[in-house]
Structure 1
Amino acid sequence: MVRRLSSSREDGDTERQGSVLLPRLSVSPLRQVMRRLLAALLVLWVTVLLVYVDRDGYVDDVDDHMTFLDCLYYTTVTLSTTGYGDIAPGSDSARLVNTLVITPLRVLFLIILIGTTLEALTDRTRQQWRLNRWRSALRDHTVVVGFGTKGRSAIQTLLSTGLGRDQVVVIDAYPQSVKAANAEGFAGVEGDATRSQVLVRAEVQRARQIVIAPQRDDTSVLVTLTARQLNPRIKIVAAVREEENAPLLRQSGADQVITSASAAGRLLGLAMLSPNASSVLEDLIQRGTGLDLKERPVTKAEAGRSPRECDDLVVSVVRGHRILAYDDPEAASLALTDRLVVIHRASRALPEPDERRGEAR
């Protein structure tokens, strides 16, 4: 279900999309059964009327007169395929109507009353059971707002670190994007992420982190404000197109802000001035190939040593809320509470979890 924040925004989005998205109605299994029961009754009464109109063409073993009750009785035993044989079509017209009309109605009756009803019961009940189980088991997951280029790339990077697909929930306003996320094995929520009820459906209040990568900067700000209100402890990483909007996102509660337009522009400029440096930087960004840029805790063996003595190439030392350069005099001796931003080979294993004392910090 797509909702807009204002009428002007709705008009702009409608012109850009060129289509109207209607909300999908959720029908309970009981209502599904009632609808099919009414359809079956409609088929039953249509057949009764057909038999009653041509009642003179039927033979009754009890008496020679076909009443309305007799027509109703014959219709029920015929559509249910019971067929006692005490009433049977005798004339050519009655037999023709039975062959061409009542027999197809009998098949339709059985499909409506039995096949479709069972399918509705089993399918809807199973889907509701899966949804309830998914919601009850979902904890410390990752919510990704926007399944575009930025959102997909962020998910692929997170998956390369060992995050399971069942721990990712995608929110997008476009149904085709949600279907694409489902096809790749991710749970999806269709709707406007600026609305709190949409974020609640994605269980943001119990999520560990959220990646906000919509197409508009104002959407990023509103989603950040709403997510921070629902979950004050959630880690928020948001993307903006314009660098001037980055401070506003940080004030809204984002922990990290990535400026996509300026970052791409700097990379283009670097590629012109120093193509090799640009290739190395692109290699660092693409996780899993060549060199990787990673943040990790200081191991026990590295405590008290200089950053230059570490096995990995240390770029920065994170101490508290400060980021120190590798050659900063304050970072000359590493502490166990420090974290390191390092460059290492993609195939090289990082320290085991029991050595990462600061991982949960």
Structure 2
Amino acid sequence: MLFLISLIVGTGGYVVLENYTLIDALYMAVITFATVGYTEVNALSVNGKIFTLIYIIFNLGIFAYTVSVLSTFLFEGELGRVFKNYISNREVNKLKDHVIVCGFGRNGAMACEELHKAEKEFVIIEKDTSVIETVPQDKKYSFVSGNATLDEILLEAGLERASTVITALPSDADNVFITLTAKEINPRINVIAKASETNSEKKLYRAGASHVVMPDRLGGIHMANLITKPYVIEFLELLNGVGDAKLELEEVSYAKLKNEFHNKTIKELDIRNKSGVTILAFKDDLEGFIFNPQSDKKIEKGDVLIILGTKKNLHNFNNHFIKN
């Protein structure tokens, strides 16, 4: 745009001051702009010489600005950031049934860490570019830079194709707004929202949130339970991967099991002896959650097993029971 403006100004100046034809004026503007040193069309008047001096200085300023912009792109990593954003946008456009994480603060970053461990595809919306730049390259997170409260940014993150939105912005009002927008654009989407204030919880549920998490409340309960139920908390920390004997919880649906294990009882599957994992609970379409299910409980279509074990136990379970 600056180059185009410069040519228009130069051409117009020579037409007005020197009465040049349009083609002669354009020729003078180009040779002056390019500083090639060709001979003028005609000898310049005093006003023409003053205009040419100012015009040359103006063009030198454009040249200096152009060099500084190119230097920023080449030497300060701007080109790399643009290319990274381009690649990230291409990857986002391929995603389906993914998770959109709004806000990469403390809670958002922890959510992304867990999703990354579980190999779940996700996209992060973050408006602070300095925060995006602090993420290590080996993480290979997909980012959309922008304000998550804007419809176009949510759509850029693939809201229409996503399965879940985690909104973890500092402002409860923003989280309510994102929940409303997400449910309006994609009514089937699952929304998990963060709340700081107690009265925001009901508003988020009314807006359509499936789950509302209050980190401050959970933190206070956790600290109190460290006093009242220390061993329970120690066990729960094992489930969260804290400590030497790390345990993991997994959910296994009927559809994931190999065909030969369909419509079999827990006793017939003999899961504990074959893999080492323990069945903690059973999700039945009719009865809901059943804790510590009986051995004669049959696994049928739509049912889900909640299992517990070490990483090795779960690996054995997957090899033996889960479809490839």
Corresponding position: 1:311 with 2:276: yes
Q: Deviations over 1:311-337 (max 9, x none)?
A: 2122211122711101x44x7424054
1:78–1:222 distance in 2 versus 1, CA, 3 Å: closer
Distance 1:269 1:42 in 2: 73
Corresponding position: 1:335 with 2:299: yes
Counterpart selection for 2:239 from 261, 275, 284? 284
Q: Unmatched 5+ residue regions in structure 2? A: 44-51, 74-78, 136-140
TM-score with structure 1 setting the length:
0.60
Instruction: State the partner residue of 1:141.
Output: 98
TM-score with structure 2 setting the length:
0.66
Where do residues 178-327 of structure 1 align in structure 2 (5 Å cutoff)?
A: 178-181=129-132, 183-184=134-135, 185-193=141-149, 196-241=151-196, 246=201, 249-250=204-205, 252-286=207-241, 290-297=246-253, 299-300=257-258, 303-306=264-267, 311-320=276-285, 322-326=288-292
Matching residue's letter, 1:295? E
Distance 1:82 1:304 in 2: 89
Q: Deviations over 1:48-67 (max 9, x none)?
A: 79xx9xxxxxxxxxxxxxx7
Contact 1:37 1:113 in 2 (8 A): no
Distance 2:229 2:192 in 1: 29
Deviation at 1:268, TM superposition (A): 0.8
Number of residue pairs aligned between Structure 1 and Structure 2: 291
Corresponding position: 1:157 with 2:114: yes
RMSD: 4.9
Distance 2:7 2:68 in 1: 12
Contact 1:79 1:109 in 2 (8 A): no
Identical positions, percent: 20
Deviation at 1:295, TM superposition (A): 1.9
Matching residue's letter, 1:38? I
Deviation at 1:153, TM superposition (A): 0.6
Contact 2:276 2:313 in 1 (8 A): no
Deviation at 1:340, TM superposition (A): 2.0
1:247–1:104 distance in 2 versus 1, CA, 3 Å: closer
Q: Unmatched 5+ residue regions in structure 1? A: 1-33, 53-66, 90-97
